[in-house]
Amino acid sequence: MNAPIARLYVVVLLLFTLLIAFTSKWSVFDASELEAKTENKRPLFAQQQIARGEIRSADGELLAVSRPRGKGEAKRYVRDYPTGSLFGNPIGYDFLDFGRTGIEQSENDILVGESNEFATILEQLSGSTEEGSDLTITIDAGAQRLATEMLSAAQGTDGGALVAIEPSTGAVRAMVSTPGFDPNEIPARLEEFNNLPPGDSVLFNRATQSGYPPGSTMKVVTAAAALDSGEFTPESTVDGSDGQDISGVPLANSGGFSQNPITLTDALTNSVNTAWANVAEALGEDTMVEYMERFGFYSLPPLDYPDSQMIASGPRKSNGRLTRSAFDVGRVAIGQGGEEGQMQATVLQMATVAATVANGGKRMAPTFVQEVTDPDGRVSDELDPDEVEQVISEETAAQLTEMMTNVTEEGTASGLTLFGGSTPFAGKTGTAEIDLEGLNQPWFVMFAPADDPQIAIAATLERCQGCFGGDTAGPIATAVAEELLGQG
Amino acid sequence: MSARNRELLGLLPVAALVTAGFTAVFTAQSNNVGDLSLILGAYFLALCFAAHMFIRFRLPNADPYLFPLMALLAGIGLVMIYRIDDSLARDQANWFVLALILFAATIVFLRDYQVLERYRYVIAVAGLVLMVLPRMPLIGSQVNGAYLGVEIGPLSFQPAEFGKIAIVIFLASYLRDRREVLIVGARRFLGLTLPPLKHLGPLLVVWGAAMLSLIVIRDLGSSLMFFGGFLAVLYVATNRASFVVIGLAMFFAGVLILPHIPFIPADQVGDRIDIWLDPYQDPDNTGYQILQSMFAQADGGLFGQGIGGSLLYIPGTDTVLISAVQTDSIYALIVNELGLFGGCGVILIYALIAARGFKIAILADDGFSKLLAAGLTAVFALQAFVIIGGITRVIPLTGVTMPFVSYGGSSVVANMVLLALLLLISDRARRPKREPGGLPA
């Protein structure tokens, strides 16, 4: 009977080998696939046990902090947002059952503490628990608060948005979307928030996710293309008479303004629609598309923010797709456009346009990261300005700055001042018509001071009844600029 | 070196491992674990030492490696259970005391274990009764659709753990008698060697019992373990692989067909197979345990998270992430905390125990001893395979315990009795031979 006993043992060994093979499969070979399964809540749970890093504003206000709940093995951390709705949109939220959005999502690796296999083995040996790094963002809480208050106070509008960028670094100094939401309320009210109609939406970041017709602020891009392509100078003249046929349809000027010929400088100062439509038609679609692309249109902004919470700007067809051809170039040039190419831009994109001109034509990637401090208190990362490209020459930028300064001194924005008129600044108003009953999308883009720009801002109000850019969005932008410049 | 001194030496790694294990839990959870851990470790080692002294006294020639290997498994189990819940570990340590008492009683009262042959039919009936006991009204209890437990007042135990020993004893005795006729009367038919028809009856009865157990206790794992043990004893007795092939074919045919026969309540078996094939179809319910077990293994990787380092509870709750983590799923926790290496280590210990068990069967002199040792070893190894295989999705997951490692009194006590029987057989087989009527050689 000994031979079958020996063979029986071989069978047992084969069965055990099978066990080792399958254990290897789950624990090593298929491990990453299993960890990525949505059914697998382990990585999520594990992150809840890490003390997530704090988020502070550039001026030191505590914006997000993890507070411990429970004890022992059941201990976990729950996110608390001391400033409530003030930073709801840029920062987003992080809750186990409701996911993660905004900066909480895009900077997650920093906040949970970047860990590699080697570090975790060391940590296991030393018995220390994982901790995340603290993050200081570039947003100034004072400016954020002022912009939020002023946008919320605006009458006759669904909401509004404002983005302020430091031109030389791309640092986002304010990002506001109203109406906002208090991240602390997400666990109780997420479903309710999700079911709000579009106009009342609070989770939607109107600064990065909403494409609005930019109206006359788009003329800054058109002017940049005109000057930088060498086809025009600020003194070149075009036909600025009212009611010209553009793409076969008469185009009106604001207030019935009519002048032929008119210089580009004057055409910008007085925001003459027909003049800029003529310029764009002379440049052609390809040149306009080229310069839009250089300014960042047609692609997602290079911002450290979740892709799902940003959209690209540019002319969109009625099916929502971006188009690079067969659009009404004359109307796109003034931030409008017809069925086959309605111009839609985000506030972030228009702020980037202003910041690029302000920075001598150099476009910087916008960023939120001011400083990262690891759990031991060492600064492990700092704001690192990232140049995307030289969009227009320094000379063009200087010419354009002068033209835009004219706008605030004697043009459509002459009603606006900085520090009582002591600080010259560059700006451009915009009022896109949404319907014929006076429902408008008012805009203002600006940068200041004109001779040494420290801040670039774009602000808009969503579907505002009877609103004009210079009167509504303008004062909000200049107030925020004063707040940010006043500190410097 | 004498066998017993080798055994004592073999207990040294056990002592080292238990000490290291408890210290690891102690440091990992120093905030909510007292110095009880060290006391518990010392208590366990004292029990091992006492058992060793008992074996030294009663069975001086028995296999020296079996007991240390068992102690190694029990030590790993105790550390893991302690890591889950210290009060469970205290219970488990107390179960060891009872198990060692029964271990000693078995050795004392069954010194001449061949008397078991005389009572083989009584034992067979006892084994079957033990198996169906969980279906009895009032005392039976059902977990996840399978009937494996018995509850009498505050006491609960799993009679199948004892049933498997009884059935192996019966089979060893029965097949020792009939092996000759099974072999001699065999005919070849269609290339297969078939046993003579009149002796096929008892085999069909065992197959029928296995099928019936699927319907009665509704547990594929136990059924597979029993039937596998039977085939192992049958194979050793007859050396006919064809019997095993036929037996396995009949078993799997039964398992696949049974759930589809109307009016036969074997849905449970079919469900288990469905979950095994696709655990993602209902990840929060039926597939939860196997998925969580797989995820825990994935989290373990090559070296594991360290003892006390894995995520046991859903944060903020008292809910354990892996269901039945101290019993069915303990292997998942072992791989989670000790990694692939830890898992392989445990499997290696089972393989070594199987090696010693089969060695005892080979060394044994008489047919009954050989069949009994081989059968007990096979059923023990199969039990380990069934539960680890279930957790690693080699086979459908069912509710048997991981011998000596899982939490549970019945499992520890029954397997200590099994170990006692193996040591008894081994002691006799290795005893210095006496010349007929003479002095020891």
More confident residue, A350 or B280: A350
Rounded Cα–Cα distance for residues A277 and A252 (Å): 11
Rounded Cα–Cα distance for residues B339 and A23 (Å): 9
CB contact under 8 A, B311 and A5: no
With 70 as the cut, is the pLDDT of residue A297 above it? yes
pTM: 0.67
- Among the residue ranges A355-359, B99-103, B133-137, the one predicted with the least confidence is B133-137
- Name every chain A residue with its beta carbon within 8 A of the beta carbon of B351: 12-13, 16
Sorted by sequence, the CB contacts under 8 Å of residue B385 that are 6+ apart come out as A12, A15, A16, A19
**Predicted pLDDT of residue A74:** 64
User: Which has the closest alpha carbon to A400: A227, A165, A166?
Assistant: A227
Average pLDDT of span B171-178: 87
With 80 as the cut, is the pLDDT of residue A425 above it? yes
CB contact under 8 A, B236 and A4: yes
Rounded Cα–Cα distance for residues A174 and A171 (Å): 9
Q: Given CB atoms, is A71 within the 8 Å cutoff of chain B?
A: yes
**Predicted pLDDT of residue B169:** 92
**Predicted pLDDT of residue B438:** 52
Q: Which residues make beta-bridge pairs with A464?
A: A440
Rounded Cα–Cα distance for residues B424 and B420 (Å): 6
Please tell me the distance in Å from A38's CA to the nearest CA on chain B: 10
- Name every chain A residue with its beta carbon within 8 A of the beta carbon of B314: 41, 45
Rounded Cα–Cα distance for residues A275 and B426 (Å): 106
Q: Which residues make beta-bridge pairs with A237?
A: A263
Angle between helices B3-28 and B66-84 (to 10 degrees): 10
Q: By CA distance, what is B389's nearest residue in A?
A: A19
More confident residue, B436 or B179: B179
Sorted by sequence, the CB contacts under 8 Å of residue B394 that are 6+ apart come out as A18, A19, A22, B388
- Name every chain B residue with its beta carbon within 8 A of the beta carbon of A42: 295-296, 299, 311, 321
State which amino acid sits at residue A151.
Answer: L
The predicted-structure confidence for A438-447, as pLDDT tens digits, reads as follows: 889 999 999 9
**Predicted pLDDT of residue B112:** 86
- Please count the helices (runs of H) and the strands (runs of E) in chain A: 16, 22
Round to the nearest angstrom and report the end-to-end CA distance of chain A: 95
Report phi then psi at A340, rounded to 5: -90, 45
Buried b (16+ CB within 10 A) or exposed e, B222-246: bbbbbbbbbbbbbbbbbbbebbbeb
Chain-centre distance for alpha carbon A193: 21
**Predicted pLDDT of residue A116:** 43
Average pLDDT, chain B: 84
CA–CA distance from B233 to each of B160, B169, B373 (Å)?
18, 10, 9
How is chain B split among helix, strand and coil, in percent rounded to 5? 70, 5, 25
With 50 as the cut, is the pLDDT of residue A128 above it? no
Please tell me the distance in Å from B339's CA to the nearest CA on chain A: 7
The predicted-structure confidence for A1-26, as pLDDT tens digits, reads as follows: 789 999 999 999 999 999 999 999 99
Chain-centre distance for alpha carbon A411: 28
Strand segments (E) across B71-174: 140-143, 146-152, 155-157
User: Which has the closest alpha carbon to A34: B339, B328, B297?
Assistant: B297
CB contact under 8 A, A40 and B28: no
Rounded Cα–Cα distance for residues A266 and A402 (Å): 11
Strand segments (E) across B241-368: none
**Predicted pLDDT of residue B192:** 65
Q: By CA distance, what is A10's nearest residue in B?
A: B355
Percent of chain A with pLDDT over 70: 95
CB contact under 8 A, A3 and B239: yes
Rounded Cα–Cα distance for residues B364 and B386 (Å): 27
CB contact under 8 A, B385 and A19: yes
Please tell me the distance in Å from A77's CA to the nearest CA on chain B: 9
CB contact under 8 A, A76 and B315: yes
Average pLDDT of span B145-164: 75
With 60 as the cut, is the pLDDT of residue A118 above it? no
More confident residue, B212 or A241: A241
Please tell me the distance in Å from B232's CA to the nearest CA on chain A: 7
Sorted by sequence, the CB contacts under 8 Å of residue B23 that are 6+ apart come out as B37, B38
Q: Which of A13, A16, A23, A69 to mutate to test the interface with B (most CBs of B within 10 A)?
A: A23
Region of A479 (left: φ > 0; alpha: ψ -120 to 50; beta: rest) is alpha
Contact A99, A183 (CB under 8 A): no
CB pairs under 8 A between A and B: 152
Average pLDDT of span A181-199: 90
Average pLDDT, chain A: 90
Whether the ipTM is more than 0.90: the answer is yes
State which amino acid sits at residue A76.
Answer: R
CA–CA distance from A323 to each of A293, A319, A320, A362, B430 (Å)?
12, 10, 9, 25, 90
Percent of chain A with pLDDT over 90: 68
- Name every chain B residue with its beta carbon within 8 A of the beta carbon of A79: none
User: Which has the closest alpha carbon to B168: B130, B199, B201?
Assistant: B130
Kindly compute the dihedral angle of the four CA atoms of residues B333, B334, B335, B341, in this order, to the nearest 10 degrees.
170
B33 pLDDT band (50/70/90 cuts)? low
With 60 as the cut, is the pLDDT of residue B201 above it? yes
Please tell me the distance in Å from A49's CA to the nearest CA on chain B: 7
More confident residue, A45 or A428: A428
Rounded Cα–Cα distance for residues A37 and A223 (Å): 51
DSSP A37: -
- Among the residue ranges A251-260, A264-273, B346-355, the one predicted with the least confidence is A251-260
Rounded Cα–Cα distance for residues B332 and B392 (Å): 8
- Name every chain B residue with its beta carbon within 8 A of the beta carbon of A1: 236-237, 239, 361, 367, 370-371, 374
A149 pLDDT band (50/70/90 cuts)? very high
Average pLDDT of span B104-119: 89
**Predicted pLDDT of residue A126:** 42
DSSP B304: -
DSSP A255: G
Contact A224, A253 (CB under 8 A): no
The predicted-structure confidence for A364-387, as pLDDT tens digits, reads as follows: 999 999 999 888 888 888 888 999
By DSSP bridging, strand A94-95 and strand A99-100 are antiparallel
Q: Given CB atoms, is A324 within the 8 Å cutoff of chain B?
A: no
Peptide bond before A250: cis, by omega within 30 degrees of 0?
no
**Predicted pLDDT of residue A466:** 84
Please tell me the distance in Å from A82's CA to the nearest CA on chain B: 22
